[in-house]
Amino acid sequence: MSRTTGKTGPIRALGAMSGTSLDGVDAAVVETDGQRLFGFGESAYRAYSEDERAVLRAALGQWHGPEVEAAGILTTRAHAEALAEFEDVDLIGFHGQTLAHDPRGHGTLQVGDGLGLSQALGLPVVWDFRSDDVALGGEGAPLAPFFHFACAKWIGATQPLCFLNLGGVGNLTYVDPSFDGPEVPGALLAFDTGPANAPVDDIMQARLGLPMDRDGALAREGTVEMGALELFLAEPFFNRMPPKSLDRNDFAEMIRLVQELGDADAVATLTGMCAAGVVQGIEHCPKPPARLLVTGGGRRNPVLMEMLRAALDCPVEPVEAVGLDGDMLEAQAFAYLAVRVARGMPTSCPGTTGVSALVGGGIVSRVSEARVG
């Protein structure tokens, strides 16, 4: 039974995600009991304006101060606007906006007021998903793997496969659907592969005043600078065994490696770095995956997808190939995880974040109180 709704069986949970690409708020409904998926409901997207994106950018990498406070207020307001239109929802999963991530140092920081959001919407809100995992020695990321396991079961997968999310940072989930549950040792392995869209977006904004390399158009005009690519792959991160995670700005020096290149070559090289990180990551999988299903904005970049297909021995497909929504998969994941938190189920394990034991992180806020349980 849910500690927040009093219901048993499947409920309608609404998840929201604002990723490190800083494009906007994704919101989506999932019908689940916290284990199985029973269906996917409506979804919506609330874009950030240029001014709002500037507020969030100003706070990236910071842990406190007026910029962080402003980003938190903006995040809460934008989510309240995005979620207010949904009806017949039992529970909300609110990830918030990641500003900084340093699990072996300061910790992890996602801004946004879950209690305030609960008061604004009149619904229970699960939030602060990552802190408990970090406190128990985990990386705090990625958190979508338990949902990916449920998705693999939902699509009827029988062979090991990988989900690759290409947002600001790339992260990979290896799923063996022959296991009964995501917490069983061997069922999951997950980790960040390296930077994904963030460096490309940053250089496009800095040089051309554009938010992204739409459809990989500029990358297609350029050539990958192999010397820069080799220096990138020499970073110690790639020699670390998973689980492992990154902050959005951990590879800020990538921009330095391409600063002498022209626009097209710089973007092509940064795109190649993203693909190379994924290829390195696939080598950590216990078995070769039968397929690679790609979610996040990177799947819309045909140049990046072509690079992955050329380098890997398995089919590389957008998640739409199996009936999933690559724009909403992370929002759906936090809807699913919210139900697990509310029902006392784990949301991460040693194979996904390196946490020392199974943990179900998250604060559950209702209109009348700041914490439940």
| Domain CATH code at residue 288 | 3.30.420.40
Are 349 and 293 in a shared domain? no
Are 207 and 349 in a shared domain? no
Please report whether residue 195 resides in a domain: yes
**Cis omega (within 30 of 0) for bond into 243:** yes
Are 303 and 171 in a shared domain? yes
Predicted confidence band of residue 368 (pLDDT cuts 50, 70, 90): low
Are 43 and 190 in a shared domain? no
Please report whether residue 151 resides in a domain: no
Predicted confidence band of residue 373 (pLDDT cuts 50, 70, 90): very low
Q: What's the rounded mean pLDDT across residues 283-288?
A: 96
Are 108 and 174 in a shared domain? no
Are 232 and 97 in a shared domain? no
Are 257 and 137 in a shared domain? no
Predicted confidence band of residue 4 (pLDDT cuts 50, 70, 90): low
Higher-confidence residue of 19 and 230: namely 230
**Rounded to whole angstroms, how far apart are CA atoms 232 and 96?**
30
Tell how strand 188-195 and strand 169-175 pair up: antiparallel
Q: What's the rounded mean pLDDT across residues 353-368?
A: 90
Please report whether residue 4 resides in a domain: no
pLDDT in tens, 134-181: 999 999 989 999 999 999 999 999 999 999 999 889 999 999 999 999
Q: What was the pLDDT predicted at 369?
A: 54
Q: What was the pLDDT predicted at 372?
A: 37
Are 136 and 185 in a shared domain? no
Domain range for 132: 11-142+328-365
Please report whether residue 230 resides in a domain: yes
Please report whether residue 49 resides in a domain: yes
Residue 232 has pLDDT above 90, yes or no: yes
Are 258 and 172 in a shared domain? yes
Are 275 and 334 in a shared domain? no
Q: Which of 306, 322, 338 lies at the terminal end of a domain, its last residue?
A: 322
Q: What was the pLDDT predicted at 340?
A: 98
- Mean pLDDT score of the chain: 94
Are 314 and 172 in a shared domain? yes
Q: What's the rounded mean pLDDT across residues 351-367?
A: 92
Query: Residue 271, Cβ neighbours under 10 Å: how many?
Result: 27
Q: Of 13, 43, 5, nearest to 25 (Cα)?
A: 43
Please report whether residue 184 resides in a domain: yes
Please report whether residue 3 resides in a domain: no
Please report whether residue 300 resides in a domain: yes
Q: Of 19, 62, 64, 65, nearest to 167 (Cα)?
A: 19
Are 227 and 178 in a shared domain? yes
- Compute the Cα dihedral for 49, 51, 55, 60 and give only its sign: positive
Residue 6 has pLDDT above 70, yes or no: no
Q: What's the rounded mean pLDDT across residues 114-139?
A: 96
Question: Could you tell me the two tokens for 235?
Answer: 């970073």
Q: What was the pLDDT predicted at 5?
A: 58
Number of domains in the chain: 2
Q: What was the pLDDT predicted at 371?
A: 39
- Angstrom distances, CA of residue 290 to CA of 1, 154, 178, 239, 303: 36, 17, 13, 24, 22
Contacts of 63 (CB under 8 A, 6+ apart): 99, 100, 106, 109
